[in-house]
Amino acid sequence: MISHFLHIPFPEKLTDDVWAIKWAQINWLSTQGILTIKTNE
């Protein structure tokens, strides 16, 4: 999912810190309604 929405070709190569930041960005985009996905809260 991260690679699709943020265009990261190899997300498995990200460091844990960078991956966590990118995941937070995905969650923010989702809560703002920018993405077509919804998070379960």
Condensed to tens digits (0 to 9), the pLDDT of residues 1-41 reads 667 777 888 888 999 999 899 889 888 888 888 877 665 66
The pTM (predicted TM-score) of the whole model is: 0.67
Q: Residues 24, 28, 32, CA angle at the centre, nearest 5°?
A: 170
Q: What's the confidence (pLDDT) of residue 12?
A: 86
Q: What's the confidence (pLDDT) of residue 21?
A: 92
Q: Measure CA of the first residue to CA of the last residue in the chain; give whole Å.
A: 18
Q: What's the confidence (pLDDT) of residue 40?
A: 64
Q: What's the confidence (pLDDT) of residue 39?
A: 59
